[in-house]
Structure 1
Amino acid sequence: MGKVLGDVLGLAAGVAISPLPIIAIILILATPRGRLNGPLFTLGWILGLSALGAVMLAIASPAGASAHNQPATWVGAVKLALGVVLVLFGARQWHRRPKDPSQAQLPKWMGAIDRLTPVKVFGLGLALAALNAKNAPLTIAAAASIGSAGLPVGQQIASLAIFVLIATLGLLAPLGVFLLGGERAKTTLGNWKDWAAQHNVAVMAVLFFVLGLKLLGDGIGILVS
């Protein structure tokens, strides 16, 4: 189990460092229903990652993700394909990054966050976790790594739970500051939001590229072993 955690912690950190969801929860916390909607958004995020990971684990086990305690060939192919996708996304994001960070613009849907109902806030967290172009491939890759390690079901579930916990730290940090930070929380979260908004595209590009190269290396290593 220790080796599996070593493989997936980097992927979990990549999910945790997601500027758009961090900006989204900060905006949600600034609304009148922030104390309700912030935890709901986080819960949606956790369930989105958990559901996607669980589906991949359910596919991996009967599909023979582990062969003689080594990842099966198809797991290497999946990681290789995901790596290619992330590297291409990274190159695209880097090309699209604003030359002047102060000119960076947030997605238009963020302007409607203060009008979202609790149900829609929950759904937004779910979508940003499970349907995001970076988070979904990383979660699938992590679940494939867990499923290909030949672990008992209990350890697979525990490994996925640890992955989800680490991947949620990016949201838990602003939520904790909001709930415990008192009067200074608004200023702190505002500074975090401004920085993330200005550097979102560049951060995403670097993460796409670095994590894509990791998955490429993992996939090639499995295929040639």
Structure 2
Amino acid sequence: MGAALGDVLGFAAAVAVSPLPIIAIVLILATPRGRLNGVLFTVGWILGLAVLGAAMLAIASPAGASARSHPATWVGALKLALGLFLVLFGARQWHRRPKDPSQAQLPKWMNALDRLTPVKVFALGLALAALNAKNAPLTIAAGAAIGSAGLPVGQQIAWLAIFVLIATLGLLVPLVVFLLGGERAKTTLGSWKDWAAQHNVAVMAALFFVLGLKLLGDGISVLAS
């Protein structure tokens, strides 16, 4: 059980350091309605992670994710599939990274952040958490790890809440800095955005490659036992 819950913390930390959501919230905070939209974006993100994680728990519990505190065979197969996806995704991202970090370009949709309504900003946060190809596999893996730990329902919910909280730190830190830092916060957040934009692809490629190998190993271990 301890190893599974340790994996949950690792997955949460990986989601928390995703550069694109961090860049997005910094850009949102710089818009005229930055205070409101920043909060809505974060709430959407939290809801997206919580819903996806809860859905995985709902599937895992009745499907028998654990047998005598040992992960079920289908959990091993799921981890194997997720691990393979992340390894291939990480390798693809690494191959596509810009040779010169200063030449890195942000996704085109970020140019429209200052024109989004509050509802669309909320929906964006929801989508980046629950539908993003980088974050969704990690959230699914975390839900599977919690479901396979043999915990009572209340403790499963508590661990999911811990996962969501840690996974949201990457957004909460810029939001708190903005709300409390005043004008000085703009310079700090701007430097964070520039660094994240330049190293986004390389950071995520290395992160997902390592986590993918970890999931592959876990999946093989479950299936072989």
**What is aligned with 2:22?**
22
CA distance in 1, matches of 2:73, 2:219: 9
Match of 2:145 in 1: 145
Distance in 2, matches of 1:133 and 1:101, equals 22
Maintained 8 Å contact 2:5/2:145: no
Query: Which residue is equivalent to 1:72?
Result: 72
What's the C-alpha RMSD, in Å, of the aligned pairs?
0.9
Structure 1 length-normalised TM: 0.98
Q: Secondary structure at the match of 1:220?
A: helix
Partner of 1:207: 207
CA contact (8 A) 1:4 1:159 kept: no
Structure 2 residue aligned with 1:112: 112
Aligned equivalent of 2:132: 132
> By how many angstroms is 1:13 displaced?
0.5
What is the deviation of 1:6?
Answer: 1.3
Amino acid paired to 2:206: V
TM-score using structure 2 length: 0.98
Question: Match for 2:66: what amino acid?
Answer: S
Contact 1:86 1:212 in 2 (8 A): yes
Report the alpha carbon displacement of residue 144 of structure 1 after superposing the two structures with TM. Answer: 0.3
Do the aligned residues in 1 keep the contact of 2:26 with 2:189 (CA within 8 Å)?
A: yes
Matched, 1:222 2:222: yes
Equivalent in the alignment of 1:164? 164
Match of 1:180 in 2: 180
What's 1:40 paired with? 40
For the residues of structure 1 that align with 2:5 and 2:144, how far apart are their CA atoms? Answer: 12
Spell out, residue by residue over 1:149-182, the C-alpha distance to the aligned partner (whole angstroms, 9 max, x if none).
Answer: 1110000000000000000000001001101112
Gaps of 5+ in 1: none
Please give the residue correspondences for 1:96-111 in structure 2 after superposition, counting only pairs within 5 Å.
96-111=96-111
Gaps of 5+ in 2: none
Counterpart code for 2:190: G
Q: What is the Cα deviation at residue 2 of structure 1?
A: 4.8
Residues 60-115 of structure 1: CA deviation (Å, up to 9, x unaligned): 01111111111000000000100000000000000000000110000000000000
**Structure 2 counterpart SS, 1:218:** helix
Consecutive aligned runs of 4 or more in structure 1 exceeding 3 Å deviation: 1-4
**2:81 matched to which residue of 1?**
81
Residue 218 of structure 1: CA displacement?
Answer: 1.1
Q: Which moved more, 1:5-14 or 1:136-145?
A: 5-14
- Helix, strand or coil at the partner of 1:150: coil
Answer whether contact 1:75 1:144 (CA < 8 A) is retained.
yes
Q: Which residue of 2 aligns with 1:191?
A: 191
User: What SS does the corresponding residue of 1:199 show, helix, strand or coil?
Assistant: helix
State whether residues 9 and 163 of structure 2, in contact with CA within 8 Å, keep that contact through their aligned partners in structure 1.
Answer: yes
3-state secondary structure, aligned to 1:105: coil
Query: Number of aligned pairs?
Result: 225
Q: Distance in 2 between matches of 1:208 and 1:121?
A: 26
